[in-house]
Amino acid sequence: MPSLDAKPRQFPTLAGILFGLGLGGFFDGIVFHQLLQWHHMVTSAGYPADSVEKLRFNTLLDGLFHAATYLFVVLGLVLLWRAAHRSHLWWSGKMLVGTVLIGFGLFNLVEGLVDHQILGIHHVNETVPREQWIYWDLSFLLWGALMLVGGWRLWTQGRSASPGELR
């Protein structure tokens, strides 16, 4: 018979989501902005990277963007660290991967809808002809939605498993 003071086992869901948001931002910034150089923060908002001055401005904004994604990762780490010191923590690989995918997918959906579609400050691949930008933008949104759904499925599978099954 469980004691009345027994706490239900918990998983640090928000920590995983924050990690995913940060990792999604890092992936976007490192791969699309720096390695492939397909776009920068405001290349479609009147600051194309066609001069040193505009490239410097975009690079500054890219750096501020990276600083924000870094904060997501640090906050996720702080929450995970604090949760790790609680005896009733429920460790689950499925739930961790699921919440990271949820966060990564959320990043892509918010970035894709707000920056690419609503504000139009940049698009996924600005190196292709302009009429093809929408296909890259929609693929980015689809990728985010698939990660969100896949992450949600893993998270719910992890939640429905007993603690012994989660390792």
Question: What is the DSSP annotation of 50-75?
Answer: -SHHHHHHHHHHHHHHHHHHHHHHHH
Could you tell me if 159 and 90 are in contact, meaning their C-beta atoms sit under 8 angstroms apart? no
Gap between the Cα atoms of 167 and 99, Å rounded: 16
Helical H segments across the chain, by residue range: 13-27, 52-84, 93-110, 133-160
Low-confidence ranges of the chain (pLDDT < 70): 1-9, 87, 162-167
Gap between the Cα atoms of 21 and 35, Å rounded: 20
For residue 43, the one-letter residue type is T
**pLDDT digits over 23-41, tens only?**
999 999 999 999 999 999 9
The residue length of the chain stands at 167
Q: How much is the pTM?
A: 0.84
Could you tell me if 20 and 108 are in contact, meaning their C-beta atoms sit under 8 angstroms apart? no
**For the chain, domain boundaries:** 13-162
102 burial level (CB within 10 Å; 0-12, 13-18, 19+): buried
For residue 109, the one-letter residue type is L
Could you tell me if 44 and 122 are in contact, meaning their C-beta atoms sit under 8 angstroms apart? yes
What's the first-to-final CA gap in the chain, in angstroms? 25
- Looking at the DSSP assignment, which residues form a beta bridge with residue 89? 10
